[in-house]
Structure 1
């Protein structure tokens, strides 16, 4: 009986500790739905003075150079390059239908090596190549395995998880493998915090922002490290003898789409880029106009950049390259008015350079996903432009 009463007492004490924290609300507050209550005022003060058309710079090449440097400044300290260049180690290899699949490890920085997959078509190269950039999905257990079917050397949990993710977001198809079957060298690496670059304790989405904040204490931006690695990974791809360095593209869905247009804007190696389900303007994305606000947080955040350039202004640095953007009218993450505004900003830029035919923007009746028909549209785009 005494043990029972003691147990009840402990439970009651625990409830008293927990319940007030759940119920504690003040009559006045300054934040709601993850935004400051003065979000509309902040948006009105975003004038984007460095955007093409807003800037005093009239020469497009000069503008791109200046605007790029501003982006790099906001990306904070870059990871130091490896002392002896890219060093690749092949960890496993297997023959697939028309191409070889390799698991590799590359030293992209003096700080770390990066696990990646590399697909090389059978036959005589050099081949066109694609940097396949994986998504976010609030699912960090796998990274590169979202784009390329895992090799047999991987744990059965990884293989099963990758197939489940492909079924969920890509209608069961591994995008990278399909591109390799069509004659492209395909590279896909884990972004920081995903797959084999994750947390020792296991993937915990709620820890991402805390780790990103801690990284800033070193003068480092975690999202920027992802972009820096995408740039370095593309340089590595261009160095391979199997690759035609003049025919390199990139693609991705969701955060992978964000990575694709960022990489296209910041790397001269990329000749064509395709982004599925990631483009919008800040005034729509970060407002209270819709039931959902930005959830990416630190995954696409460069300190201070919005004071200079909006998302489509950064993407416009890719002009006059060939670019494909597909967004979904049923995509709850990106309000259609913001998507349409962003498309217009980019078309105005490509038109100003006499290259509007190189920019393809499409709004499909799909949710936040990359169905097979979108993958085939991307393949068609690469066949035309690479």
Structure 2
């Protein structure tokens, strides 16, 4: 198969994935500031992060399958319009409820990177697919982690509302660039939207590797979300640091995220089950380090690098597995996988917040260990079924 993906387009999609997905995570280092602004508890403020993740999961479910039916540019144009308006609404919110609702819409419309990943899989040949997915995922992961650094600094010195005003401006500029540079991909699915959505169940029911990948991805991201949602509270309680320092820890996670390209390349050379086992072990080790590091900055730094590297090892390998099959339905299988992924993230946010409220950092660490332990257990039990 000819490789139709030039490096210029690949890196544009990688950067764009990072910039768009950042909208999901700007709020996490700001939760304490938001709680103070609206005079609510930290636990209540964490619903802003939760609603964003739920919105993203639903956006994946109802929007991304359209990539197999509707031109990619049509989806992008409408999504960007709603996204920019939602970011502005968040910046202008005068109540926690309005911010939660705006955050839900931000999540719902920040699904575009999940069109980019099947796009590079479609345009790449078999040999280059792992590398291409890894590069886009590097951009996406750096966006996730860098967003926390940026929002933490901006929020600390200019207020949390400024973060959302800036994001709205950035998304407006990015829209014009993508509209000019992206190739038009005409999908082949000619049936109704209802039949398109029904086919999701068909693929979930008939593809055991897709089900297993979805479970692993959900647990991995749930573990990561439990950490980042509660980390800002730990920084405040244990060290007296604000959102700038909490967000700054994203810089250490970026070191792990840069390994995504390496993991992508390894997918064509190393048995995928071994990569998943290695990733699960890294996540478990990171949580053991977190457990004993509630008052150790060095321990927390090491844990952040390890957990991001572990999660990306599981995630990129999962995607390479599901994209290797059902080439005519990559957007739909990606929808199934990513909906599960972000439902796992929402669960991690919820369990992490509850654990923090009732059991502190030890409870949060227990949640992370349970999630990551299940990944390893499931993988060892089903090892022979994985490509």
Bigger strand share:
1
- Asked which structure has the greater RCO (Cα within 8 Å, sep 6+), the reply is 2
TM-score normalised by length of structure 2: 0.27
* Higher-Rg member (1/2): 1
TM-score by length of 1: 0.28
| Greater helix content | 2
